[in-house]
């Protein structure tokens, strides 16, 4: 059965701050996506849509039924698949997912990837709770499965999710089609490639406890602790490393309780000492995202995305849903149609170049940063200045000091992508 091995990438970190942990009246969401080193993530904008009754939707491996209306979404996704590692929708819902292995065996068949479930939930929900219900309903109907990397050797896992909206957050953790969830109404929370929902269960699969009892994992008398009952007895090495990252993430959040901002979250995502900013062997942090979700529904949500690897040497660029929102072509990977290795059978027997324009220019800039001290320092300063400009624009907007027309707001991300491309030209 394909699952994990000692050298496969299996690390990500998600964070959320709910007032009063936040410095402002807003929920703040953040994620580092840690993936195979050479995998490219693109940032994709998908507008809202309407769909004919009976329509079918092709996800990464399987088809599902389409709904009549889908919401506009911004996605950071590995460019070979349909779903996403993280993203947000026009209603201020944000979701990040992570790999997890439990006592429940990982299926070998192709089904919905956790990344597919994430995108489907964003397209179909207007709150974090509704997104949770979308995921669990699809999980019950279709299950989860299929290889999660672009490689002939299958790499399969189950998923945990951090879901947030303007008012609250949910941690949803799965084991096959089973699941448990914890509601977060205040404070800060993080997840890191392990089960973390213990006895504080806010919602769960109807058969969760009876299944655990039947398997002999729970005695039916003691307090039911989901993480304890379903976690593997013998953890792989990288799962032990995830525990260290989880504790480090908790500490970093705790140190900033009451003062957590988007900049604080960016700093946490850039923390290399803890391993949260990953760069080890065959995998690294390939993309990052931070979102500000104001409690005031009249204020726009602001989502910062890198579209490039290593947040410590990338620029978080602001995206706001608005009338002028459109796809930024510089962060869209090339497509290969029927020749794509994910479309042909057997899958992933060949490789294609999925690097988008910004990725290519960013890689050249990283080379200069590493090899030419003076030029590298100049580039890093330009990156920092551009990011600060975006953060200041968000601050003024949320403070009501400067409210550009909707057309200008919608084009903000594309404008920053173009400017970053010029920095590297």
Residue 280: its pLDDT value, please?
81
pLDDT higher than 80, residue 404 = no
Is position 371 within any domain?
yes
Residue 10: its pLDDT value, please?
52
Residue 320: other Cβ atoms inside 10 A: 22
**Contact between 307 and 331 (Cβ < 8 Å):** yes
**Contact between 291 and 304 (Cβ < 8 Å):** yes
Quote the CA–CA distance of 70 and 76 in Å, as a whole number: 18
Is position 5 within any domain?
no
pLDDT higher than 50, residue 8 = no
pLDDT higher than 70, residue 1 = no
**204, 164, 159: which is closest to 180 by C-alpha?**
204
Residue 2: its pLDDT value, please?
39
Is position 328 within any domain?
yes
Is position 78 within any domain?
yes
For residue range 38-77, what is the model confidence (pLDDT) as tens digits? 999 999 999 999 999 999 999 999 999 999 999 999 999 9
Spot the catalytic one: 10, 12, 14, 277: 12
Is position 36 within any domain?
yes
State the residue range of the domain holding 418.
13-424
Residue 241: its pLDDT value, please?
78
Give the chain's domain count: 1
* pLDDT band at 7; cut points 50, 70, 90: very low
Residue 3: its pLDDT value, please?
44
The bridge status of strand 12-18 relative to strand 26-36 is antiparallel
Residue 335: other Cβ atoms inside 10 A: 10
Is position 8 within any domain?
no
For residue range 362-401, what is the model confidence (pLDDT) as tens digits? 999 999 999 998 999 999 999 999 999 999 999 999 998 8
Residue 5: its pLDDT value, please?
42
Task: Supply the CATH number for residue 197's domain.
Answer: 3.60.60.10
pLDDT higher than 60, residue 423 = yes
Is position 86 within any domain?
yes
* pLDDT band at 4; cut points 50, 70, 90: very low
Residue 304: its pLDDT value, please?
98
Residue 401: its pLDDT value, please?
87
- The total number of residues written for the chain in this structure: 425
**114, 423, 164: which is closest to 301 by C-alpha?**
164
**What is the arithmetic mean of pLDDT over 187-209?**
97
**12 included as an active-site residue:** yes
**What is the arithmetic mean of pLDDT over 11-29?**
96
Which pairs count as long-range contacts for 201-205, CB under 8 Å and 24+ apart, including other chains? 201/226, 202/170, 203/132, 204/179, 204/180, 205/136, 205/177, 205/178, 205/179, 205/180
For residue range 262-273, what is the model confidence (pLDDT) as tens digits? 999 999 999 999
For residue range 94-134, what is the model confidence (pLDDT) as tens digits? 999 999 999 999 987 999 999 999 999 999 999 999 999 99
Residue 402: its pLDDT value, please?
73
**What is the arithmetic mean of pLDDT over 309-323?**
96
Q: What is the mean pLDDT of the chain?
A: 94
Is position 70 within any domain?
yes
Residue 143: its pLDDT value, please?
97
* pLDDT band at 195; cut points 50, 70, 90: very high
Residue 320: its pLDDT value, please?
97
Residue 238: its pLDDT value, please?
66
Question: pTM of the prediction?
Answer: 0.96
For residue range 228-276, what is the model confidence (pLDDT) as tens digits? 999 998 877 767 778 899 999 999 999 999 999 999 999 999 999 999 9
For residue range 132-190, what is the model confidence (pLDDT) as tens digits? 999 999 999 999 999 999 999 999 999 999 999 999 999 999 999 999 999 999 999 99
């Amino acid at each position: 059965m394909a699952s994990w091995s000692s050298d496969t990438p299996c690390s990500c970190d998600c964070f959320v701050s709910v007032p009063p942990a936040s410095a402002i009246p807003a929920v703040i969401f953040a994620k580092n996506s840690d993936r195979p080193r050479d995998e490219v993530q693109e940032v994709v904008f998908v507008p809202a849509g309407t769909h004919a009754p009976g329509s079918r939707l092709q996800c990464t491996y399987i088809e599902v039924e389409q709904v009549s209306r889908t919401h506009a979404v911004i996605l950071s996704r590995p460019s070979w698949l349909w779903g996403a590692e993280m993203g947000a929708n026009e209603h201020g819902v944000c979701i990040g997912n992570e790999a997890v292995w439990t006592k429940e065996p990982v299926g070998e068949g192709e089904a919905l990837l956790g990344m597919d479930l994430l995108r489907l939930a964003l397209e179909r929900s207007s709150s974090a709770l509704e997104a949770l219900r979308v995921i669990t309903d699809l999980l019950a109907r279709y299950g989860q499965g299929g290889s999660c990397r672009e490689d002939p050797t299958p790499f399969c896992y189950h998923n945990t999710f951090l879901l947030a909206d303007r008012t609250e957050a949910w941690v949803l953790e799965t084991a096959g089609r089973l699941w448990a969830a914890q509601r977060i109404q205040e404070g800060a929370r993080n997840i890191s490639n392990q089960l973390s929902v213990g006895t504080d269960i806010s919602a769960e699969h109807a058969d969760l406890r009876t299944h655990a009892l039947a398997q002999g994992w729970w005695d039916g008398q003691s307090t039911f602790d989901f993480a304890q009952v379903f976690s593997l007895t013998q953890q792989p090495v990288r799962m032990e490393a995830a525990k260290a990252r989880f504790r480090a993430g908790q500490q970093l959040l705790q140190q900033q309780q009451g003062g957590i901002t988007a900049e604080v979250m960016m700093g946490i995502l850039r923390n290399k000492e803890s391993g949260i900013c990953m760069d080890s062997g065959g995998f690294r942090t390939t993309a990052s995202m931070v979102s500000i979700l104001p409690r005031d529904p009249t204020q726009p949500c602001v989502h910062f995305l890198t579209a490039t690897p290593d947040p410590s040497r990338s620029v978080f660029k602001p995206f706001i849903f608005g009338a002028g929102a459109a796809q930024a072509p510089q962060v869209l990977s090339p497509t290969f149609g029927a020749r794509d290795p994910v479309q042909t059978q057997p899958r992933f027997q060949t490789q294609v170049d999925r690097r988008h324009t910004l990725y290519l220019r960013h890689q050249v800039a990283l080379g200069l940063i590493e090899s030419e001290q003076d030029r590298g320092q100049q580039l890093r300063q330009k990156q920092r200045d551009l990011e600060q400009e975006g953060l200041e624009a968000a601050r003024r907007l949320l403070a009501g000091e400067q409210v550009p027309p909707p057309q200008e707001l919608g084009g903000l991300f594309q404008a920053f992508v173009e400017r970053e491309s010029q920095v590297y030209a």
